[in-house]
């Protein structure tokens, strides 16, 4: 079985990605490390614990950074709900995470399993950046690093005209990670809005699966769906973290480019904007594999199979 370590700021789309990973027969999720982002850290931890429990798993959930490296935390309850899971009345309190600290867990897990860990980062990159600053040797010991963040090919942003939320929250952490030498595969928000929008037809197909996890995956999108209709003008909530997880599971259908990539630190409006040297004008050394397309039908077929 392939070993996945998933770093999450658990909100509505993160939880779906977690369910996918936990339900996959060939994936061993060795742990979920949690970072503040969509919601404050304590709420993100409770959401992760609830999701693991719902899936009938006992995967460790370890709390990590409660704020970005050098900035105040800015969250996204307006997108995901005050509890991060759609404000639908779930019991999201009182569970106890695994003792430890997420950056330490990341370092220890990679060092103890050299060349075996696929690290999937679906929140701000603060935990991973702290781990790299403390133990830069892990960059050469991880098998793959799949990151949901930025807008690598097509744009636009979902928090500013050009920036995606995860990268905007902690751009300094993104810079540490991008410059670390890790084997990074980037699945941006542009891939989600192109191939992972849960339209009315898709929602009906998910309901028709008749499973608790499928219903959960739709129900917790209540706030995000309203945001999609009113703000991003999509036909429904989109699933950036699940499609990044799908690529981590099966990269074969993806179209990719290996390019030089960096991040704009700020100030606004450029804060968190991914800089991609598509044409080589900046002569940036290629350092990131950018997913430029992931087939919609393949993604939803995988999603339905795992949630059913």
Indicate which CATH number applies to the domain containing 152: 3.90.245.10
DSSP annotation of 284 reads P
Mean pLDDT of the chain: 97
274 has pLDDT over 80: yes
Least confident window among 4-8, 143-147, 172-176, 278-282: 278-282
SS3 category, 275: strand
The 3-class SS string of 201-229 reads HHHHHHHHCCCHHHHHHHHCCHHHHHHHH
How far, in Å, CA of 206 to CA of 225, rounded? 15
Interval 79-90: pLDDT, tens: 999 999 999 999
169 has pLDDT over 80: yes
Phi then psi dihedrals of residue 190, to 5 deg: -60, -30
Mean pLDDT of 23-51: 98
How far, in Å, CA of 25 to CA of 22, rounded? 8
pLDDT at 141: 98
Interval 103-150: pLDDT, tens: 999 999 999 999 999 999 999 999 999 999 999 999 999 999 999 999
Q: Percent of the chain scored above 70 by pLDDT?
A: 99
How many angstroms separate the Cα of 284 from the Cα of each of 148, 220, 261, 278, 287?
22, 41, 7, 10, 8
Structural domain count of the chain: 1
Range of the domain at 21: 2-307
Angle 68-8-159 from CA coordinates, rounded to 5°: 60
How far, in Å, CA of 47 to CA of 62, rounded? 12
Where does the pLDDT of residue 268 fall: very low under 50, low under 70, confident under 90, or very high at 90 and above? Answer: confident
Containing 263, the helix (H) or strand (E) segment is strand 261-263
Where does the pLDDT of residue 152 fall: very low under 50, low under 70, confident under 90, or very high at 90 and above? Answer: confident
How far, in Å, CA of 294 to CA of 276, rounded? 19
pLDDT at 12: 97
How many Cα atoms are found within 13 Å in the side-chain-facing hemisphere of 264?
19
Q: What is the pTM of this model?
A: 0.97
């Amino acid at each position: 079985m392939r070993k996945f370590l998933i770093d999450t700021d658990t909100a509505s789309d993160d939880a779906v990605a977690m369910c996918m990973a936990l339900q996959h027969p060939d994936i061993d999720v060795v742990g979920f490390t949690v970072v503040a982002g969509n919601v404050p850290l304590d709420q993100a931890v409770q959401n992760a614990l609830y999701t693991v429990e719902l899936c009938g798993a006992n995967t460790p959930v370890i709390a990590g950074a409660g704020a970005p490296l050098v900035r105040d935390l800015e969250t996204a309850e307006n997108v995901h709900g005050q509890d991060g899971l759609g404000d639908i009345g779930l019991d999201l309190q009182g569970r106890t995470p695994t003792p430890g600290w997420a950056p330490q867990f990341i370092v220890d897990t990679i060092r103890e399993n050299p060349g075996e860990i696929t690290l999937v980062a679906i929140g701000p990159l603060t935990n991973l950046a702290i781990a790299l600053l403390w133990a830069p040797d892990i960059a050469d010991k991880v098998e793959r690093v799949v990151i949901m963040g930025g807008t690598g090919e097509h744009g636009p942003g979902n928090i500013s005209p050009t920036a995606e939320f995860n990268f905007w929250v902690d751009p300094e952490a993104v810079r540490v990670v991008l410059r670390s030498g890790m084997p990074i595969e980037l699945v941006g928000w542009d891939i989600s809005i192109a191939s992972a929008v849960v339209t009315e037809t898709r929602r009906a197909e998910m309901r028709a699966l008749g499973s608790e996890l499928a219903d959960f995956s739709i129900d917790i999108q209540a706030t995000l769906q309203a945001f999609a209709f009113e703000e991003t003008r999509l036909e429904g909530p989109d699933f950036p973290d699940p499609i990044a997880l799908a690529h981590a599971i099966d990269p074969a259908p993806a179209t990719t480019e290996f390019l030089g990539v960096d991040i704009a630190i700020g100030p606004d409006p450029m804060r968190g904007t991914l800089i991609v040297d598509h044409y080589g004008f900046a002569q940036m050394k290629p350092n990131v594999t950018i997913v430029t397309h992931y087939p919609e039908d393949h993604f939803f077929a995988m999603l339905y199979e795992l949630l059913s």
